[in-house]
Structures are given as structure tokens and as C-alpha cells.
Amino acid sequence: MIEFMQSLEIWQILAIKIVFALMMIGAVMTMAGYSVLAERKVSALMQGRLGPNRTVLPIIGSVPIIGPFLQGLGIFQPLADGLKFLFKEEIVPGHVNKIYYYLAPIIALVPALTTMTVLPFGEFFTGAGETIPLMLADLDVGILFILAVSSLGVYGIVLAGWSSNSKYPFLGGIRSSAQMISYELAMGLSLLPIFLWVSKPGVEVSALSLVEIVNSQHQANWLLLVQPVSALIFLIALFAETNRLPFDMPESETDLVGGFHTEYGSFKFGIFFVAEYAHIVIGSAIFTIIFLGGWHFLPWMSDPWPANWVGTILGVGWFLTKTVGLIFFFIWIRWTLPRFRYDQVMDLGWTKLLPLALANLLFYIVLVTWLDQSAL
């Protein structure tokens, strides 16, 4: 593989990378679009409604049995939603700060899409018994990269709130930046015990690499079972970072109309919307990688698929199954729990999650040291 890459010109390598990146963006954006549909369908299911079942495409919709079935599932709905966002009238309120008003949705979307570069989603088996992780860039500090880039996403929301030049969006922006700073701390601290656990003495791996974290769960316990408290803190912080209910402070409809995107319409609102769902998709994938064993089968079991291209496809499919399950979990929570009050969010972040994360870290420092000492 490496020799093959070295034989290429630089523009050929660039072209290959760009094609792969576009494929990855296509996959994640499709998943984000269909999570919107899933959100509407699942909420309909929970409230005894049918959900979107009217949109239809001309030719596919008139196929006898399959057409109405797909129509009932609402498969074509994301397409219609996207077109609607594109063709709506572009309204720019007169009181906004134009440059930042246009810049904000882009800044919100770019970090959400950049995090996917270091996301491994499967492994490719070469004939020589080696495995190559399927990802755009195998960085040995992948998890830090994701934390760093996703922390830039807050600028989109803050700028949107500020440039709208009106009260509700401004409050939404301020709330969101306070919330994100508070929960980033707990999120980072909840991951430290994972690094301690994965980098045992004598193991020459960089525990900050997502691939190593996944492979450490092969034929061993999932980290969810080893470190349930870390997983819980990480999951709660993930909800807060993706602005999902019960933490959707920046856009709580009941007290802030639409929060930071009150003044946004048409495609610019669509970009915010897609960015939120892209965050959910990538967040679910990260949780799968760190705590649910990634593309490996169940805990303590070796992968039941053969080590060839069939195994690659089944592994990626299994990874996607776990990710979709987590996306369902996100939606499930949203339509089950009521929203926190703002002071409750801050209280939970600073006085409960942060001390819990610190205590968890101390506990695992002591435990790992004790295990190391008794092993030597």
C-alpha cells in the first residue's frame, strides 16, 4: 500500500484523497439527512402519529408495491426538505451585521465535517495478514483532534447570536458558549481514564489514537463495561455539546423563540440544521469507537467474519449498526425527557459532572497503578 502510494505523483495522491473525502462527506451528510427523517418518524411513533408519509418521486413512487411502501416510510422526505431549503426566499433582516451573519452558518458546519477526517469506521484486510484501518487520516492523536476541532463549532453559534443583533439570538449565543465551555471540561476529563486504561506498561501504542482504542477492545471487555462512569459522563457531555434536549439551551423554543437561529431562514437555517445532525452522527460514531468496541463484534468474542473483503463490509456494517442505534438513543431521549432550566444545566455541569469526572480519574489512577504494581 505504502509503496503504491509512493509511486504516485503528488497530484494523483491529492486526487485520491479528495475523492475519498468527498465520499465520506456524502456518507455523513446522507446519514445526517436521514437522521432528520428518523427524528420525525420516531417522534411520530412515540406520540401515536404516522409522521411524514406524503412525499413521492414520480417514477419510483408509481412502482406497484415498493412505491407506496417507500412513500409510507417517508424515504423521499429529506430530498424534499433539502430542495425546500434551497428554493425558499432568501430573507436577510435589515438589522443584522451582514458579514458575520453569512459567516456563522459556515463556521458552524465546517468543524462538524472536519472531525470526520480522523474517524476510523472499519478495517481492510491485506492478503499478508495485516489490517489497515479505514479512515481518511490515521493521526496518532485522533481523539485530541476531535476534541480540538469540535470546540471550534461554538463560534458558529456565538457569531450567529451576536450578528443577528436582536435579544433572543443573543441570549441563545451567550447561553451556548457558557454551556459548551462547562461541558467540554467534563468531556475531556472523562476520557483521561480511557487513555490510562488502554496504555498499559509494555504496550507500545499511543493511547490517543482512535484505532488503538478500538483494537484494545478486540477479544476483551468493551470500555463501556470497564468504565461505566466515564461512559456516562461522556454521553451526558456529548448531549450538551451537540445541543440536544435536555440540553438545548441555545434554542429552547419556549423561552427564546428559536434561540441563535431566530433570524435565519431558508438555506442558512438549513446549514445550521444539518450541522446539528452531523454533530449527532459523528458524536454517535465517536461513542461507538471509544466505548462500544467500534467495528469489533461482541465483548470477549473474536469477530465471526472472515479476514477478507466480506469481513471488511460486515465490520463496517456492524459499526454503522451501533452508530444508528446510538442515533436512535439520541432521538429517544429527546422525545422522553423535558428540558433543564438554564441554572440546572450549569449546576449539573460544574457541581456534579466535573467533581464526578475528577473522582473517576483519581479512582482509575489508583486502580491502574495498583494493577501495574501487582502485575510486575
* Contact set with other proteins (CB under 8 A): 10, 100, 139-141, 144-145, 147-149, 151-152, 154-155, 158-159, 162, 170, 173-174, 177-178, 180-181, 184, 206, 208
**Which amino acid is residue 151, in one-letter code?**
S
Q: Which is nearer to other proteins, 43 or 165 (CB)?
A: 165
Q: Which is nearer to other proteins, 71 or 117 (CB)?
A: 117
Q: Which is nearer to other proteins, 23 or 137 (CB)?
A: 137
Residue 117, C-alpha cell as written in the block:
477526517
Peptide bond preceding 246 in cis form (omega within 30 of 0):
yes
The span from the CA of 34 to the CA of 278, in Å, is 11
Q: Which is nearer to other proteins, 10 or 128 (CB)?
A: 10
Q: Would you mind telling me the total number of residues written for the chain in this entry?
A: 376
For the bound state, the minimum distance from the C-beta of residue 164 to other proteins, rounded and expressed in Å, comes to 12
**Which amino acid is residue 260, in one-letter code?**
F
Residue 63 DSSP code: S
Q: Closest by alpha carbon to 247, among 194, 164, 320, 187?
A: 187
For the bound state, the minimum distance from the C-beta of residue 329 to other proteins, rounded and expressed in Å, comes to 27
Query: Left if phi > 0, otherwise alpha if psi is -120 to 50, otherwise beta: which for 65?
Result: alpha
Residue 97 neighbours by CB distance under 10 Å: 14
For the bound state, the minimum distance from the C-beta of residue 158 to other proteins, rounded and expressed in Å, comes to 6
Q: Closest by alpha carbon to 295, among 327, 274, 319?
A: 319
Q: Which is nearer to other proteins, 175 or 322 (CB)?
A: 175
Q: Which is nearer to other proteins, 160 or 233 (CB)?
A: 160
Q: Which is nearer to other proteins, 39 or 212 (CB)?
A: 212
For the bound state, the minimum distance from the C-beta of residue 178 to other proteins, rounded and expressed in Å, comes to 7
For the bound state, the minimum distance from the C-beta of residue 80 to other proteins, rounded and expressed in Å, comes to 36
For the bound state, the minimum distance from the C-beta of residue 34 to other proteins, rounded and expressed in Å, comes to 30
HSE, side-chain direction, 13 A CA sphere, residue 310:
5
For the bound state, the minimum distance from the C-beta of residue 148 to other proteins, rounded and expressed in Å, comes to 4
Question: DSSP characters for 67-112?
Answer: HHHHHHHTTTHHHHHHHHHHHS-----TTS-HHHHHHHHHHHHHHH
